Amino acid sequence: MASLAAESVLPDSKRGSAFFVVLAFAVLVGCQRPNAQRRYPFTGEIIGIDRASHQIIVRHEDIIGLMKGMTMPFAVKDLTVLDTLQAGQRIKATLAVTNTESWLEDIQVTAQAPADASPAHSELQIPSEGAAVPDFVFTNQDGKRVHLAQYKGRVLLLTFIYTRCPMPDFCPRMINNFREIEMALKQDSVAYGRTHLLSITFDPDFDTPQILRYYALSTTSTPAADLFPHWEFLVPRPQDLDAIAHFFALSVWKENGQITHSLSTAIVDGNGKLYRWYHGNDWTAEELLKETRAAIAAGQ
């Protein structure tokens, strides 16, 4: 945090919000006993089911002591229960939260779906590995315009986040995984020089370059001079967000001021083509590192 105070200055209009974002992140991932489990009563309506990721998308009511009501995905570990659920059902359950993950358990259907109920969101179109990645334009954490084609020759690792994400196994996990990858790559000068990391927000209305810079320095505990030359935090142009989300099979929608989203992570090879794509949060830093090294070798 010392480097943050010296290197990041926010205007008064954003400083309070940015402080809340970083504080919330710290509470979620750094201020609990290891593997401590907290449990909360949970009620809501299922509006979609992602069986491939073992998740249900729920428009939930306020979770007392945790968060306001919103719409977002939740993991379901009991697959026999998952197979019985339908969009439109109302449920009650227990939300379990640890430092690194969250899931619903003890799920009970309290009201069946109306006869005409249908999923609120369409199925993802999975991107094709080997497809050319469009030259999307962004603004980085320093306010500099960047575009994907400028990184050709390097293997890109990119993932999507937003700074107000409340659940430890979503955006915070993506940050933690990328931090592990960054530390591992620094131990290999060849691999480090042939790679670049990008964390891209899908909340450009709130996540300005200044907010992202503050968030990046706070959550990675890395000085800017060591972090940003190899790992950048990007804001897309609002008019490009739909096209970016479509290409990377990222589901993002806003409802009542809240953001509901899936997770999408990709490796882009040195020729600007999609090498690997990962849906959800089940991938590990070790897995991504292995595939990154394979992409580097394939481009030699």
At residue 256, the pLDDT reads 61
- Cross-strand pairs, 217: none
CB 33 within 8 A of CB 105: no
38-111 CATH pick, 2.40.50.320, 3.30.365.10, 3.40.50.2000, 3.40.720.10:
2.40.50.320
Radius of gyration of the chain from its Cα atoms, rounded to whole angstroms: 19
Q: Distance (Å, rounded) from C-alpha 82 to C-alpha 64? A: 25
CATH number of the domain at 137-298, out of 3.40.50.2300, 3.20.20.70, 3.40.30.10, 3.30.70.360? 3.40.30.10
pTM beyond cutoff 0.95: no
- The C-alpha atoms of residue 282 and residue 30 are separated, in whole angstroms, by 21
Q: CATH 2.40.50.320 spans which residues of the chain?
A: 38-111
All CATH 3.40.30.10 domain ranges of the chain, comma separated, are: 137-298
DSSP per position, the chain:
-HHHHHH----HHHHHHHHHHHHHHHHHHHSS-TT--EEEEEEEEEEEEEGGGTEEEEEE--BTTTB---EEEEEB--HHHHTT--TT-EEEEEEEE-SS-EEEEEEEEEEPPPTT---SSPPP-PPPTTPBPP--EEEETTS-EEEGGGGTTSEEEEEEE-TT---TTSHHHHHHHHHHHHHHHHT-HHHHHTEEEEEEES-TTT--HHHHHHHHHHHH---HHHHTTTEEEEEE-GGGHHHHHHHTT--EEEETTEEEE--EEEEE-TTSBEEEEEESS---HHHHHHHHHHHHHHT-
> Per residue of the chain (300 residues), what is the pLDDT tens digit?
333 333 444 545 455 555 445 445 554 444 545 568 899 999 999 988 878 778 888 888 989 988 877 777 888 999 999 989 988 899 999 999 987 788 999 999 999 977 665 554 444 567 888 999 999 999 999 999 999 999 999 999 999 998 988 777 678 889 999 999 999 999 999 999 999 999 999 899 999 999 999 999 999 999 999 999 999 999 999 899 989 988 998 877 776 666 667 788 999 999 999 999 987 777 899 999 999 999 999 987
Question: Cα–Cα distance between 231 and 154 in angstroms, integer?
Answer: 13
Rounded to the nearest angstrom, the gap between the alpha carbon of residue 43 and the centroid of all alpha carbons in its chain is 24
